[in-house]
A and B are shown apart, each in its own frame.
Chain A
Amino acid sequence: MVDQRDEFISEAQEIIEGLSRDLLALDAALKHGPGSGAPDHELVNDAFRAVHTLKGLASLFGVARMTTLSHHLEDLLDDLRLGRVDLTPKVLDVLFRGVDVYGRILSALRAGEPEPQREVEELLMALDAAASRPAFAGVNPLAEYELDPGLLAVLTEYEEHRLRTNLQQGVALFKIRVRFELATIDTALDSLKAKAKPHGEILTYLPSGGGGDADSIELDVLLASRQTLDVLTTELGDTNVTIEAVARRGAGGRTAQSDPPDTVYATVGMAPRITSPPAAPEDDLHGNADTGSFNAPRVVISALGSIMGGGGGGGGIGGGGGGDDDVPEPPPVGLSIRGVAQTVRVDIRKLDHLMNIVAELAIVRGALGRVTDRVRASPEQRELGMELHRLHRSLDRHLSDMQGGILEVRMVPLGQVFDKLARVVRQISREHDKDINLVITGAETEVDKLIVEELSDPLMHMIRNAIDHGIEYRKQRNGSGKPEAGTIALNAYQKGNHVVIEVQDDGAGIDETKVLQQAIRRGLVTESEASALLQREILSFIFLPGFSTKEGVDELSGRGVGMDIVKTNIGKLGGVIDVQSELGIGTKMTVTLPITLAIISALVVVVAGRRYALPLASVLEALVFDPGAVRNIEQREVMSLRGSTLPLCRLDALFGLAPIEGSIPARRFVVVVGVGDHRLGCVVDSLIGQQDIVIKALGKSLQGVRGFSGATELGDQHVGLVIDAPSIVEEVLATSEASRLLGARRLGGGAA
């Protein structure tokens, strides 16, 4: 039951994301388009279909409010695509609210709470208000065409609307006759649609009522296009293709096609086979010509000048004329039951499980390597040793491949989050009446699924901040010679084992003086200390809890929550955040994250007889510790490394570890870790080596413990803690910065 619900939630989630993308595209088209109020019907259709599917799903799973909501949304979208309601920003607002409320319903479901009632009801009212339906008026252009009333009778409301719209715009009509193999009709029809799309709009396709046999069906496709017949024939047809224009009754409308209508009726009624003989082998998609039937669509174009006419055509047409509330999707249900999608939805926990197995295997591999070395060391076992060695290497390679394969499966493009953010930008910018262009690059950059999930909240906060605090109001922008529309750039790219995400705005920038004033007012620094602060130190105040320079508290931000949570959440993912800002020019927030949390390379070190793993991603280098080179500045130990000052941290002292007897080494090491621009030398007793580890979370009861991002099995049943380098660096540098503030200016300099 729980599984089913999860399945429902994740499926609904996907559909809602798709719906959101469609709406965003509609919004973009509306903004940049001619503003004709006529939306891209394909997009509206997609949105309609999404809502329709959701309605079905929701009622299947008894999610009552979602069903009702879908029903009303469906009505509005239906009105949109039938042209009864114009697409305006206001209508889009309501639709976007639908996406939000869907999201809320889903999270309520996930948390096992009842569906939110108030939001749904409010939205339902808004929907009803938006769907006020003006009567559809206008001349009937259909009368001008040689269209069969029988045909008109079976068109769905939507198809008729599209037909009218096209004719009103003076687009010519063409009829294409195609023969499809039943087994492949889905893909063949899609490819025909794809071919026809650049040239016009497919209004409907109905069975021709003839020409089909047990394995094939003949369809008449009605196409509205501004192209000439010649162009269409070249583009859509091959030797088997004929396309005809639909004749117009009006004086100038009659085309060169002057065949008498009678012939037309005859054509349809008798379903003549003006086709080529059965499949030429090169046309046969599957290469099996023995059936004598076609796998590729046979495009048959009759040489006549009218659309499927004749009341008699209705017999064939009936199959396509479903209820008018149906989605205008191809009706031939049950012709192919084979799914097109080649994907499987997998619970991420299953992947975690696989990953654990790989980690266990890696431990076995390590043990095997040691045995191999022993065997190779004994002279009389040399041959056996060599063989073992080869096997071990092969195991090693395949294991790495497997590990890589599983990791790859976990990777999803950041675009998933960016789509959500685009919605947020739209909503907030409208609430604030600020024009904002969101420019996204690198949406295809891939990150571990778990990271993507955790990333959307912090990024949303950053975007909100950029709009609220960053981008100025129009007047102000005009005054400072900036374009009226603000720009927020969302850039993602991979950098080694990390992914970098930047949120950059061309707004007002962060006012350092204001930040300082606030910091002084809150007693965080004294005025004399403040004068000694560097710009990046001042800016880092914005990551303090409850810190905001904005006076007014409003809907969006300025409530003093946000950036500290952003920093905490990013930190939980093993990432760091940096801020750069220039007054009057803009602000850039840079988030650097590991690509995956699942498996990492680590350096295993010994501190006071205990083993710890240091993620290699933060390790810059390791060197022998020379106690003689240590200097003390303000009770802090530092050493020189290639001319710059490296703050030191004795991990045993930091962790409060008493040395285990006899474990005091003659020679120690310094592991230099780097996080962002900060560096820290960690003094350890010895280096054991590099190892791939799977980080496992510490239990909830240890969540308050600082300095560790988790634990891992190091083989031989032993658990080693994984050192959280960013947290250690920050902890140590924080105390040294505090002492620096007391006087010495240079100490933090190595890090700053």
Chain B
Amino acid sequence: MSTRRRFAQRAAEAAQRRGAIARRAVERGARSEFLAFRMAEEIYAVPIAYVKEILKLPPLTEVPRAPPDVLGVISVRGRIVTVRDLRRRLRLTEAPVTRRSRILLAELLPEQGGSGERVGLFVDEVLNVYRLAEAEIESAANVLGSELAEYVAGIGRQGGEMIILIDLKPILAVAGKPQPPRGPAMLGTRYGTGGGAF
């Protein structure tokens, strides 16, 4: 518990520091920092400024009838956080949980195009931080034509490595999409959908 917290805290602090550096870099139009991680043998990365914390896997509570990419909920210092599985979003093969599995706590503020909700993203392994210059980032449109394109912001290349840069907006902007009403089942659902059966 306390090790995890300390780790998480250190990670958060480091992330904040890096975030600050990354922002400065962006301002200079030079380099941005990305946190790279591995999912199903590929290297992916997200802007490090959006990653608030990296957690080891705490006990997960599954949520019946949740969207398929929701792994469950965890408690982070008293706050309930939904954990989503990026692999399911990106249609990747799901390797079993190992001791390297991590959860990235990511948050996109509404002004950044997100919902403001802090969401946990499951990844197979956290790698390192890449500083990518603009010239090292290729637009995704050239590379991919598949349904993944929606989630890919670009491709980074550095030292022979290919890093898929993930666009967190479609993943974290859940609240922007119309959701079915929450709370008790409405009579509307009852007769509205059942009406045809009569």
Contacts and interface: CB of A to CB of B under 8 A. Distances in A.
- The yes or no verdict on A and B being binding partners is yes
Interface of A: 356, 360, 523-526, 529, 540-541, 543-545, 564, 567-568, 571-572, 610, 654-657, 696-708, 710-711, 713, 717-721, 724, 726-727, 730-731, 734-735, 737-738, 741-742
B103 interface: no
B122 to A, nearest CB: 14
B181 interface: yes
Contacts of B187: 540-541, 543-544, 734
Interface string B60-78: 0111111100100111001
B73 A701 contact: no
Interface stretch (B19-27, B129-137, B188-196): B188-196
11 contacts: A541-B187, A567-B184, A568-B183, A699-B80, A699-B81, A701-B84, A705-B182, A711-B75, A713-B78, A721-B64, A737-B190
Interface size class of B (residues with CB under 8 A): 35 or more
Contact of A699 (B1, B117, B181, B190): B117
B65 A610 contact: no
A550 B188 CA distance: 19
Interface stretch (B29-37, B142-150, B172-180): B172-180
Contacts of B118: 699
Contact of B183 (A524, A572, A610, A721): A572
B182 A703 contact: yes
A578 to B, nearest CB: 13
Contacts of B189: 734
Contact of A655 (B64, B70, B117, B198): B64
A727 B61 contact: no
Given A525-B198, A711-B80, A724-B183, A655 B65 contact: yes
B185 A731 contact: yes
Output the residue of A699, A720, A727 with the most chain B CB within 10 A.
Answer: A699
A567 B64 CA distance: 24
B65 A719 contact: no
B59 A700 contact: no
Given A567-B186, A568-B181, A720-B61, A710 B80 contact: yes
B103 to A, nearest CB: 14
B66 A697 contact: no
A719 B84 contact: no
Output the residue of B63, B174, B182 with the most chain A CB within 10 A.
Answer: B182
B61 A711 contact: yes
B79 interface: yes
Output the residue of B64, B188, B197 with the most chain A CB within 10 A.
Answer: B64
B82 A702 contact: yes
A738 to B, nearest CB: 5
A544 B191 contact: yes
Contacts of B180: 704
Nearest to A607: B64
Contact of A356 (B58, B78, B119, B191): B78
A727 B73 contact: no
A741 B190 CA distance: 12
Contact of B174 (A529, A540, A701, A721): A701
A702 B181 contact: no
Given A525-B191, A708-B63, A717-B58, A697 B186 contact: no
Given A523-B195, A525-B191, A727 B59 contact: no
Given A705-B65, A741-B198, 8 more contacts: A567-B184, A700-B116, A701-B82, A711-B61, A713-B78, A719-B74, A735-B190, A738-B190
Nearest to B118: A699
Contacts of B81: 699
A567 B175 CA distance: 22
Q: Give 6 nearest A-B pairs by CB, closest first.
A: A655-B64, A571-B183, A727-B184, A734-B190, A571-B184, A731-B185
B185 A730 contact: yes
Contacts of A719: 59, 61, 73-75, 80
B73 A734 contact: no
Given A543-B186, A697-B80, A734-B190, A707 B64 contact: yes
A92 to B, nearest CB: 38
Nearest to A576: B184
Contacts of A529: 198
Contacts of B185: 706, 727, 730-731, 734
Nearest to A654: B64
B61 A718 contact: yes
A717 B80 contact: no
A171 to B, nearest CB: 60
A523 B70 CA distance: 36
B188 A564 contact: yes
Contacts of A720: 61
A699 B59 CA distance: 17
Contacts of A697: 80
A701 B64 contact: no
Contacts of A572: 182-183
Nearest to A703: B182
Contacts of B115: 700-701
B183 A698 contact: no
Contact of A702 (B63, B188, B191): B63
B61 A721 contact: yes
A701 B117 contact: yes
